[in-house]
Structure 1
Amino acid sequence: MKVLITGSAGFIGFHLVKQLVKQGDEVIGIDNLNDYYDRKLKYDRLAILGINKSNINYGVELNSDKFVNFKFIKLDLTDKENLKKLFKKYKFDAVCNLAAQAGVRYSLINPDAYLESNITGFLNVLECCRHEKVGHLVYASSSSVYGLNKKMPFSVSDNVDHPVSLYAASKKSNELMAHTYSHLFNLPTSGLRFFTVYGPWGRPDMALFLFTKAILEGKEINIFNNGIMKRDFTYVDDIVGGILRVLANPPKGNPRWDELNPDPASSKAPYRIFNIGRGNSVNLLNFISEIERNIGIKAKKVYLPMQDGDVSETWADISELKTEFDYEPKITYKEGIKKFVNWYKIYYSLNKEPAGKSSLSRAILNQ
């Protein structure tokens, strides 16, 4: 397939691009390379994909020097005119929209960023997919949409009308916008509600990254809701495996969809919503204990009340993904933490070496 990956310098996007190019697809990646977190991590991910930081300029198409079937362009989703030109040039078979302003807590202090990227940017993607008749749009939603729901595990058939952060509301909006385009223009769309993705090359604002960094530096870690927290931690390779299965199978309308008893996860239109997680919930304190075990240092814990916009537990019902695509997560949180800590130690030790002595091509960094 000819595939567009938005957010290709991001955590999940980077891992997805690697798998798509390895399986022979033609991949175009775009990313605005914003400064929400350290750009160096984004540039180093791109270096693994064969894109040299020194060659990156806005709107300039770059060929990978490692993969003949990968190109990268620095581009913002709010740049509608250049986005339209890109879609018209490549006539994509499929689009995977992973570009977004992420972070629940950040949405409390910078709400405008979420409307620009997650609403306006996503509308531009939908419009381009519509006009260029893209065969399938897969897009990132989030477990955050479940909001005040307490019924566990979270099911895609549950009501999600009570978000507790603007980030969650923007992701719920994406699902509604996608359904509208599926209904009006017969555009096949699949929304994936990601559950706490982690692993090598992860985002520095996520818990595993924050905890590992602080413990290694002898600093305190903040544990919210006094440690009474559970998360469905999902290793990035399992996430990517699920995306690949969904991407290759555009949805069709559900002939059994009932207007009198409407299923929120499907439609008469070519529209689907899936949870994509590991399918179990891990106590946060157990997760932290495993980090401590791998690092060999006890964390200095500070217990705090629940933060606004956060929830105490997430747990994904992944039965639909299992039934339809044989999705079966393989990596336990203990295995995943070990892989991440090993990567973190090596990556940051290399970046402390004198200039010219470190090499991102070392085998362990290519995982």
Structure 2
Amino acid sequence: MDPLIQAAAQALAAGDPLGALKRVALRDDASALALRGIAMAQLGDFIRAKALVRSAARAFGPKQAVARARCVVAEAEIALASRDLAWPAKALGAARATLEAHGDRANAAHAGYLEVRRLVLIGRIDEAESTLAALDPAPLPPALRAAHELVVAGVALRRLQTRTARAAFAQAKQAAHEARIPALIAEVESASHTLNLPAARLIARGEERLLLLDEVEALLASKAFVVDACRHVVQKADAVASLARRPVLFTLVYVLAQAWPTDVPRDTLIARAFRAKHADDSHRARLRVEIGRLRTVLGALADVSATRHGFALTPRDARAVVVLARPVEETHAAMLALLADGESWSSSALALALGASQRTVQRTLDSLAAAGKAQSFGRGRARRWMAPPASGFATTLLLPTPITLN
């Protein structure tokens, strides 16, 4: 191998993009283009990085399948870092298969981790776990072992399995120090700090307090009847009823749970659920209908009893009724949680991650920008959005994740 190319590759592996560029900045052969692209990506210039990596893939030619596949993996990593989640995942899968067929297990594993990270970002946790289970980190170099443990921790956090996440972060920290890459060490430290940040508010009997992730996990595993305003579900231990697509019903159970064990007047329920300033007979009739629907959805979890003045929540076989709310009240909390990861997002990537239309996302971004909660740079398809991190709060419970119904 060309000694300059080898030295540049070693510099990139050690997290030294400037050292790599000193060796290949003036060269335009295929290998140099690829290394320059990776260096520019490490420096944060993703647009230039993508162009260089694509040029390298074309320069390698069809006979250099492994080199071209490595370029595809590099481009996929750049797309993930720049939150271009619409980047064709099939191309990454084909590159991974090529690398595995030619015995390049390290880069094949790296492609697998990129795929898992993308799946986690868009909330497809089951698929992420399945892909992750097929990857064996034992024979990999320390940097990739750290990446593996970070992905394990990310999936565990989405599952609210804090013990697994804590163990994975410890393994990631050890592997990162073995790799001796400062940027990787800092990434692990920053990610593991999530476990020590408030993740939700507990509201019970008129009192509120902040909870860490492990306290949230313990609460959801307890016998308490939990109204989860982070995911719009009601839950008691393993029994879960989703109200994510029933906003009126969720508002009713949310208000009833906040007032438990006392009842809530009918006019209050009408004002909160229907946003009506003055209740009339039509509102009261609609309230009776919605309460009937709520009883059906809750099933064996709880009942809603009529009282003289209104309605009261009556849990079945539950020690308490509590509300699990976001640590801070924010209308667009899920979008801000994604923006607060420190990366730049396109509106199409946000739409994919949130399961919303791109036009809806664009309107929301415009309103957040007007309020000073988001900022954009670039124009047209190159436009990206960012927001400062939500200082002092974990965002795990605000991100999109599938709900398992029992």
Higher gyration radius (CA):
2
- Is TM (by shorter chain) over 0.5? no
Structure with greater helix percent: 2
Q: Which has the higher contact order (CA 8 A, sep 6+)?
A: 1
TM-score, normalization by structure 1 = 0.30
